[in-house]
Amino acid sequence: MNFPATTSFERNNLTMLTDFYEITMANGFFETGNGDRTVYFDMFFRRIPDGGGYAVMAGVEQLVHYLNNLSFTDEDIAYLAERKLFHPDFLEYLRNFKFSCDVWAVPEGTPIFPHEPIVTVRGPAIQAQFIETMILLTINHQTLIATKANRIVRASEGRAVMEFGSRRAQGYDGAVYGARAAYIGGCIGTACTLADREFNIPALGTMAHSWVQLFDNELEAFKAYARTYPHNCVLLVDTYNVLKSGIPNAIRTFNEVLLPQGIRPAGIRIDSGDITYLSKKARKMLDEAGYPDCKITASNALDEHIIRGMIRQGAQIDSFGVGERLITAASDPVFGGVYKLAAIEENGNIVPRIKVSENVAKITNPCFKKLWRLYDRETGKAIADVITLHDEVIDDTNDYEIFDPEHIWKRKTVTNFRAVELQKQLFKNGECVYDLPSADTIREQCREQVNTLWDEVLRFENPHRYYVDLSHRLWEEKQKLLASYGH
């Protein structure tokens, strides 16, 4: 396949970024003769952040890079040898390690729902277990941020949203990959320059308050900026007083520096105060001065709830710069994806495995599975998702009955629908077989797929629960296993 070169930001060998117990288990599998047993693992999540109706899949590209570059260096082997926990033959196995698993995943930008297999791994137990940490780390983080970004973008009701959170991110990788995820979720760009260099995500930004403070007065600062960047002149107007000096000095700068050159101003930014009130006043002042095309950007600790409130109150804002509450998903900052064994192979047969719990939500769905989405052919809207056994095919030329796996009396016959298998294969026998799409392509995929969800699923408060059903055969396999464990 045409596999893109790893970006310069991703060239560090991350093989050892793993929970230590993954290595001790791998050594144990090796010593007990279980290392080469073929197993099946699923990554899934149980709860949507912020009480939302859906999440947005992200992080697959970085997972592909990680898996494509798995190798143990001499330094890694030396470190493990010093621990005196690992069999010498196991360390030699690691020295000659070659990834050989099959991997499937839901493509980035796709809406996903609880309990669905969003990543599936088939391969030797040592390998499939070892990669758990990075699968969860990569998918959990970017899915969390993409989901939050999409909520914020939807709250803006068509107004542009820019990701401004690098300085508040949890670490430099959180800033860069968070910017990428935010772009997938619908942001138009980022303040993070490295994200632009590595992923072609538009880098945006103008000035800080320090620019204005550095000059003897605000007007001098504005004019200097306008002369330096006449075609991208966005002035920060809240350093001293938005209405008494900021807007008047901005208008004077536009009149005296830009207009003589035949250039229209790009905009102003308000970063503090009662931004809704100030934006209304600013809009009136700019319009009266002959600048109805001058855009107003708002920033300062925004999120989807604040943005929605501002719009409902009539704020005259054209775009939003959203920082800390986006890049950290501050209102619900953990995406709880888990990675669980679903099946093993014995004598060529796939044998299901299940995790049982008194907490019903933690009972896993066993077996090697497929994930399908059913779309209404007339409206294009998503009807429900169905998890089936791997050898099942949903025939969309005939009617199909779906049912709630927890309340099985709730049934519906679906007609005139289109069935789409959601997971795509990333690796076959350890070789990448997936062409990674660009961030722009993923972003458009996200926009299109979110639009297939019903408005009731898109609600911010008490969204309709989108149905994720099990096929009859899978449901029966699960019930057999539960009965065998006394449930």
DSSP 15: T
pLDDT mean over 238-249? 98
Instruction: List the beta bridge partners of residue 343.
Output: 40, 352
- 8-145+333-484, superfamily in CATH? nicotinate phosphoribosyltransferase (3.20.140.10)
CB within 8 Å of 36: residues ≥ 6 apart: 124, 125, 126
pLDDT of residue 372: 98
Total-model pTM: 0.96
Place of tokens 């080469």: 36
How sure is the predictor about 11, in pLDDT bands with cuts at 50, 70 and 90? Answer: low
Angle, alpha carbons 299-300-303 (nearest 5°): 85
pLDDT averaged over the chain? 96
Angle, alpha carbons 414-420-426 (nearest 5°): 155
For 29-74, the pLDDT digits (tens) are: 999 999 999 999 999 999 999 999 999 999 999 999 999 999 999 9
pLDDT at 474 over 80: yes
For 415-469, the pLDDT digits (tens) are: 999 999 999 999 999 999 999 999 999 999 999 999 999 999 999 999 999 999 9
Q: Which CATH architecture has domain 148-327?
A: Alpha-Beta Barrel (3.20)
In the chain, domain spans: 8-145+333-484, 148-327
pLDDT of residue 3: 47
pLDDT of residue 464: 96
For 332-376, the pLDDT digits (tens) are: 999 999 999 999 999 999 999 999 998 888 999 999 999 999 999
Place of tokens 């590209």: 61
pLDDT of residue 486: 72
